[in-house]
Amino acid sequence: MIEFFGAIGLAIGLLGRVAAAGVAAVMIGAVLTSHLQFGFFMNWAGNQAGEGFEFHLLAMGIALAVMIKGSGALSIDGIIAGRKPVASGSHRGLV
């Protein structure tokens, strides 16, 4: 359920921090139960028995960034909160 609805929530920006926390929890569980024994690297060449946790670490890092910064101004969360995107060329963040 978390993998399905969490991905949808992240894609449309609805409850982004909650969805990111759920996805991070799923990734931690996957690493600890299935992927830790195969090491860090993914099985790009197909010459090991399973996949490492390289991808899962990336997904956890992205989820952490969303949990800290939120979904952004153009997300459903941003629209509900009334945040407006800054004009292009400006690097000052949200107004």
Contact status, residue 41 vs residue 53, Cβ threshold 8 Å: no
pLDDT band at 90 (very low <50, low <70, confident <90, very high): low
Helix (H) or strand (E) holding 18: helix 16-30
pLDDT in tens, 36-70: 888 888 877 777 788 888 889 999 999 999 999 98
Decide: 12 and 76 in contact? Cβ < 8 Å: yes
Q: What is the dihedral of CA 73, 77, 82, 85, to 10 degrees?
A: 10
